[in-house]
Structure 1
Amino acid sequence: MKKQSIAEIKQLLHGDNLTSEEWEMLVQDDRKGVQTLLKSYQRKQAREKQLIEQFESMQQYERKAYSNGAKWIAGVDEVGRGPLAGPVVAAAVILPEDFRLIGLNDSKKLKESVREEYSTYIKEHAVSYHISFIDNQVIDAMNIYEATKKAMYEALAGLTPSPEHVLVDAVHLPGLNHSQEAIIKGDASSISIAAASILAKVARDQFMKELHTKYPTYHFDKNMGYGTKAHLDGLNQSGVTPYHRASFAPIKTLLKE
């Protein structure tokens, strides 16, 4: 039988539906280009298997809640506790029981383009989601921890239907009318929390990018309000904006000068 060209083999591997006979023929093909393709294919298969196993592991809290009789399970997470400027943002999301998004993970572990793609997918397939922004003035008035909880409460309150069980990233929320679990590193352990972290991160990043067009000196489109050198240089050059957190150092010091 005539050997397939490298281009034909590449297309065959891309189709991801090799028969055992085809695989054996490729394994026995001693061309360097073929063996390179096979190694790349095996790495890809191993990576996909790892992502599938990771996704299934991240369903553990949801599966437990379903088995306990809950139908609507919400994940909630926040972003933006540490920046010197901008809001703290929380998102809450209820995913359908058959939701599947292989590669879903803590938003910080994903590339920006992947986060944006996943955010769109989550919004399109969620039962419900809500995103809450708490601005810097409220943060200054009530402290960042209380502002973070306020954002989470508001995000949960915006869900329809109302959740029956809530999975929260590391924070306990007193007074909820439904059961809850505070999960350490929940954005890497629960698909619902991971989905919420992505929605919150993408929404806040977009806000900061828009703020950059008004205040380009601070490079908010790159640092998202965190205290990078470029941001601190902007503060020294242009002073404090209405979006900076007056209760945070070094903003507090600059306002006293």
Structure 2
Amino acid sequence: MSLLSIKSLGMNFGGFQALNGVNLSLDEGEKHAIIGPNGAGKTTFFNCITRHLRPTEGKVSYRGKELTALKPYQIVKLGIARSFQRINIYPELSVFENVQVALIADRGQMFNMLRPGASLFREDVMRMLDLVHLGNEAGNTAGVMSYGKQKQLELAVALASEPDLLLLDEPTAGMSPQETIDSISLIGQIAESRNLTLLFTEHDMNVVFSIADRLSVLHHGELIATGNPDEIRQDPDVRRIYLGEHADNAA
């Protein structure tokens, strides 16, 4: 059984078919990239998997359990976490507090008079921050950090629920070249060390080909190709539609 199974997934917005008959399966431990031009339906695809949108047709199953009728928090409880294209953190809180809030939400703990809130899950929070190289930033206000570090914090927040499947929506978007290199290296290390299954969208082909075991190409809401990096590099439709003038360089 595949870890994640997506069958005939469709999403229609008032007559606009954003996704049309998408089929995809992920095996445990796989690193799978979804690529495609702007407007191809990548974020809509993620939103349908995590139930931020309810698809108009098709099924999404995780470990054999259908997700389509569940709420986003229920999907997180099953072992799926995600980051967003736009940074999704609490900018006024400290770095430590951002991860602490995520742990409290995941574990159902509430503050009480006998246990000060600041002490809740301190060791676990610091473990998560050390994992994403932010241990020394714990007391800093999240919103004043660099963009790259805010993305690292968002990754720590996503990892707080101890997921088996992690969805990353353009994890290096807006980063400098060096931030991109550092970030994708970190994601790869964490995925290997925690045996995470990754499903991610990305525009930077160097990032995609450096980390993905398999790739799927979305175009106008339809999957036009799926394969390993070499197969995708050589696919004539992909070269024409997505890679364009860079196709020869990618080969």
Q: Shorter-chain TM-score category?
A: under 0.3
Structure with greater proportional strand content: 2
Structure with greater proportional helix content: 1
Compare CA radii of gyration and give the structure with the larger one. 1
**TM-score after normalising by structure 2:** 0.26
